[in-house]
Structure 1
Amino acid sequence: MKRIAVDMDEVVADVLPKFLTLFEQFNGRRPSEEEHLGKKLYQLPGGENLRQALFEKGFFADLQLIPGAQAGIQTLMDQGYEIFFVTAAQEFRNSFEDKYDWLLRHFPSISWKNFVFCGDKSIILTDYLIDDHAFNLRTFSGKGLLFTAPHNISETEFTRVNNWAEVLAFFEQENLANGAR
């Protein structure tokens, strides 16, 4: 059985709307998409305080789902893939419980045994990793898929998937190339 590691933030959980709301609260305006293409919102002038929100209990508790993520994960499971959620939670100590509960609520068919909270994703030994950060894919030993987010728009090093429909299309092609499951 092939294994897929799936990052949480900006792959299945949408952090951007919450950051945009906080940016507006702090600055009285929302940044345009052009302002933050190729960077994180907290790298913008006026965004310096946003990163602090990641350390607060509850920040990760109510994130929106990325469209298509639930159905996409279920389709991959139905095709025989084993799914692991892999998230770098150590940096934000208060995120553990929020992320754990969020995953249980939105992906109840995935066992808690398939939740991996780590700091360095190079330890992950799955066949595939879907992540929004190229630095995680650079140290990964399997096939990395870069999930599009505004901050990674200029990355060209990895196979890019813009949404969950493209993730499923990628794995459909993989199945055809490797013989149907």
Structure 2
Amino acid sequence: MEKWSWLQRHMPFISNKQFITCRRKNLLQFDLLIDDGPHNLLPALAEGKKVLCIPHPWNLKEREQYAMPLLPTWKGAKETVDFLLAE
């Protein structure tokens, strides 16, 4: 519930029909993964999936090593998501 509340504060355009919580995200089919965990982002990138990285200190090494779009601020998040999904 805490994650859903946070998501609704920052990205209210994502509906509950577009939201799933799980640890092993590589088991799911998705159009775009928005995450801060390298353990989720890197396998998705390796499979050719679209990702959007929320930058934090714990993913700095991976951000420097791999080209992945970043979501450094929640301002304009909808536009960023729309752009990535349109590609």
- AA matched with 1:149: H
2:42 alignment partner in structure 1: 138
The 8 Å contact of residues 31 and 85 in structure 2, kept in 1 or not, is answered as: no
Matched, 1:126 2:36: no
Cα deviation per residue 1:10-59 (whole Å; 9 max; x = unaligned)?
A: xxxxxxxxxxxxxxxxxxxxxxxxxxxxxxxxxxxxxxxxxxxxxxxxxx
The gaps in structure 1 that reach 5 residues or longer are: 1-96
2:18 alignment partner in structure 1: 114
- Name which one, 1 or 2, has greater alpha-carbon Rg: 1
Which of 132, 142, 148 is matched with 2:55 structurally?
148
The gaps in structure 2 that reach 5 residues or longer are: none
Higher-strand-fraction structure: 1
Q: TM-score with structure 2 length normalisation?
A: 0.58
In structure 2, the CA distance between the partners of 1:158 and 1:146, relative to structure 1 (3 Å rule), is farther
Q: TM-score with structure 1 length normalisation?
A: 0.33
Q: Distance in 2 between matches of 1:113 and 1:173?
A: 19
The 8 Å contact of residues 32 and 85 in structure 2, kept in 1 or not, is answered as: no
Q: Which runs of 4+ in 1 moved over 6 A?
A: none
In structure 2, the CA distance between the partners of 1:171 and 1:152, relative to structure 1 (3 Å rule), is same
Q: CA deviation at 1:165?
A: 5.2
Q: CA deviation at 1:129?
A: 1.2
2:66 alignment partner in structure 1: 157
Indicate the RMSD between aligned Cα atoms, in angstroms: 3.3
Aligned length, in residue pairs: 79
Matched, 1:99 2:3: yes
- Partner-residue secondary structure (3-state), 1:119: coil
Cα deviation per residue 1:145-167 (whole Å; 9 max; x = unaligned)?
A: 32211221222223141234575
Name the structure, 1 or 2, with higher relative contact order (CA <8 Å, separation 6+). 1
